[in-house]
Structure 1
Amino acid sequence: MKIAVMGAGALGGYFGGRLAAAGQEVTLIARGAHLAAIRERGLKILSPRGNLHVPAIPATDDPATVGPVDVIMFMVKNYDVESGARAIAPMLGPETMVVTCQNGVSAHERLGAIIGAGRVVPGVARIPADVPEPGVINHSAMWDTLVFGEADGQVTARVEGFRDAIVAAGATAVLPGNILHDLWRKFVSQATLASMTALTRLDLGPLRTNPDSRALFTAAMEETERVGRVAVPDLPGELVRKEWEILETLPDTMHASMLDDLNAGKRLEVDYLSGDVVRLGRKHGVPTPIHEVFLAALRPFKDGDPAGLAKDAVQEFRTRT
């Protein structure tokens, strides 16, 4: 199977590295220091499921040099979906499947509007991973699940084939009954986790144990679920309770990647997390006052850290404490 990973950061690098080590023909598309390190030293994965070093994995910053592939793992940030969709055009053959795993619930529709909805397979990644240094993926827990499926719920040969390739590579792949349900289930907690950890600059532990912040966390999740029930009428019940069961198992140090981006002065995906809760709430007539506050408070940082204020504030806080 010929596979390209568009956006070979923490998630794309993890799955791409495992697939390459298992014998699949994988090309990583990355940029900057991360790309340079992969070209020089290969890709290293540190994981409780087994460390891995792929010393000579093809990597480029130009999708046009790759040519048509069977599968594109589309792992770019939400704000790069449109530009990324145009960039992958040279890799699209007649039967190319594009598995997209952005945060939130809207990326697959935005991608499909550019490359054709029939090519797109929505996905949900549940894996704690980061890039501690260029060329290295740190996977910090035993779970590494990629859930994906046809938007219409069919189980096709192409999704079965890719699932089998991931499982053979030693990772976890699941074909759900309805991928839209999985997208919304994760979104119910994800949108709140991202905004609350970013706004408070706290990990999950303190937010989970403090009664007031836990109550706000729960109310924001319930708000998102109400929007989801109108947007996807057959959404399963008790999503907040089910997501809290997962949240309770996560380490106290868990936080959303949006907090890391905020602290680093990078762009934020807020428009596609709390922003999409608000947008879809307005579309379907569902009030979203909590996420409206989250969105308004984070919007000044969505294009990066204005005037470097956030990093200065974080450094001052750490110095004093």
Structure 2
Amino acid sequence: MNIAIVGAGAIGGYLGVKLALSGNNVTFIARGENLKAIQANGMTLTMEDGTSLHAPQVKACTIDEATPHDYVFLTMKSHQVSPVAEQIGRLCHDKTAVVTLQNGVPWWYFYNLVGEYQDRQLSSIDPGGAQWQHIGPQRVIGAVVYPAAELVAPGVVKLIEGNRFTLGEPSGEKSERVTALAQAMIAAGFKTPVSTDIRSELWVKLWGNLTFNPVSALTHATLEDICNFDLTRNLAARMMAEAQTVGEKLGVQFKISIDKRIAGAQAVGAHKTSMLQDIEHGKALELEALLGSVIELGRICNIPTPTLDSVYALTRLLEQSVLKKGKGLSLD
């Protein structure tokens, strides 16, 4: 199986090493020092128990140098996809499947979704329709990413925990292409169920991300701190309730309660969310994919989201301030 991984960071490196070592032809699409390191030494993965896996034979190139592949994994952050959407289209032949591994609401959300909103496009996460036009929703296999990993040095990834990636066609069918990919990932050592309702699977993770990521960015608090403090715990519950109303309007099934979802986040402990880490490092946020898109979905189906609107406005201003200053903001 010929696989291109666009974004050879933490999750991309984790996937690429294990898929390469199980016999697939893997090409990392990278840049800068990371590209040089992979070209020179391959990609190295440090597992949870400290053991090291090395994939020396993987290819690495820039996106402009890449050729078409059978599967293209997009492992960068959501806001990084649109600027390279046209180049991603060049990685595809007629039967290429593009696996979207971004957090949040995907740009293809309404593709093949039966109902009044079918094939509607989302401007918050696909401004100008670049991804819809150049990548094409018909190529998409949706994915939910559960592992946590870190790019600790150019060409070196450390797995923190997890090995589950849920896949699903937007149509809900168990197609030949998604089944073949799941089998290849299982052979590489991943837990890879194929869902017939990938949107509901996406919402389970999104439900926590849209809440705890911006609240942590604003407060510099860990998941444990947010859930143990009554005022922010109640804020999280209100945000989840508004999002649940939007999701259910669109046919999503929430299989756990808000209290259980908050308890799950609390159990993670003193963990800094990715959005808080981005604020500390002065980086752009995944705010549109995690929260702005949910607000847009609410507007589309006429559901008010006053709490989400307020948290979005505050977090957007925080991001703007950090980017304008050109440096991160940390309490450490």
Same-fold call, TM cutoff 0.5: yes
- Any idea what the Cα deviations from partners look like across 1:124-161, whole Å, max 9, x if unmatched? 111111212222212112x2211111101000111111
1:65 to partner: Cα distance = 2.6
Shift in CA distance, 245/113, structure 1 to aligned 2, threshold 3 Å: farther
- For residue 137 of structure 2, what is the aligned residue in structure 1? 117
Q: RMSD of aligned C-alpha atoms?
A: 2.1
Query: Within 5 A, what are the aligned runs for 1:79-158?
Result: 79-109=79-109, 110=126, 111-141=131-161, 143-158=162-177
Residue in 2 aligned with 1:28? 28
Relative to structure 2, which stretch is displaced further, 112-121 or 238-247?
A: 238-247
- How far is the alpha carbon of 1:303 from its aligned partner? 5.9
**In the aligned structure 1, how far is the partner of 2:272 from the partner of 2:73?**
24
Aligned to 2:116: none
1:58 counterpart letter in structure 2: K
In the alignment, the residues of structure 2 paired with residue 209 and residue 113 of structure 1 have an alpha-carbon distance, to the nearest angstrom, of 45
Q: Which moved more, 1:211-220 or 1:176-185?
A: 211-220
Q: Tell me the equivalent position of 2:57.
A: 56
- Is the 2:29–2:66 contact (alpha carbons within 8 Å) kept by the matching residues of 1? no
State the 1:12 CA deviation. 1.3
Shift in alpha-carbon separation, 1:304–1:56, aligned structure 2, 3 A:
farther
Kindly provide the amino acid, as one letter, of the partner of residue 275 in structure 1: G
Offset, 1:76: 2.2
Question: TM-score under structure 2 normalisation?
Answer: 0.87
TM-aligned CA deviation for residue 255 of structure 1: 2.8
Aligned twin of 1:264 = 281
Structure 2 residue 209 is the aligned partner of structure 1 residue 200: no
Alignment partner, residue 76 of structure 2: 76
* Matched residue type, 1:96: T
What is the SS of the residue equivalent to 2:108? helix
Q: TM-score, normalised by structure 1?
A: 0.89
Q: For residues 16-50 of structure 1, what are the alpha-carbon distances to aligned partners after superposition, in whole Å with 9 as ceiling and x for unaligned?
A: 11101111000011122222222233212122265
Structure 1: state its 5+ residue gaps. Answer: none
> How far 1:54 moved relative to its partner?
1.6
For 1:246 and 1:17, the matched residues in 2 are separated by: 30
% identical aligned pairs: 31
Maintained 8 Å contact 2:99/2:142: yes
Choose from 265, 274, 289 the match for 1:247: 265
List per-residue Cα deviations over 1:90-144 (Å, max 9, x = no partner).
2111110001011111333543443222111111111111212222212112x22
Q: Please identify which structure carries the higher helix content.
A: 1
Secondary structure of 2:221's counterpart equals coil
Provide the secondary structure at the position in 2 that maps to 1:88: helix
Query: Residue 256 of structure 2: which of 238, 241, 244 is its match?
Result: 238
Determine the structure 2 residue equivalent to 1:276.
293
Query: In the alignment, is the contact (CA less than 8 A) between 2:89 and 2:134 conserved in 1?
Result: no
CA contact (8 A) 2:27 2:59 kept: yes
Cα contact 1:43–1:57 (8 A) shared by 2: yes
| Distance change (3 Å), C-alpha of 1:239 and 1:94 | farther
Deviation at 1:203, TM superposition (A): 1.6
**Deviation string, structure 1 residues 194-240 (Cα, Å, up to 9, x no partner):** 1111111122121122222222222211221111111x225244353
Q: Aligned pair count?
A: 311
* Structure 2 stretches lacking a partner, 5+ long: 110-125
- Which of 205, 208, 213 is matched with 1:186 structurally? 205
Deviates further, 241-250 or 254-263: 241-250
Q: CA deviation at 1:4?
A: 0.2
Q: Could you list the per-position Cα deviations for residues 152-180 of structure 1 after superposition, in whole angstroms to 9, with x for gaps in the alignment?
A: 10001111111011111112211012101
* Structure 1 counterpart of 2:190: 171
Q: Is the 8 A contact 1:150 1:159 kept in 2?
A: yes
Tell me the residue number matched to 1:39: 39
Do the aligned residues in 2 keep the contact of 1:27 with 1:58 (CA within 8 Å)? yes
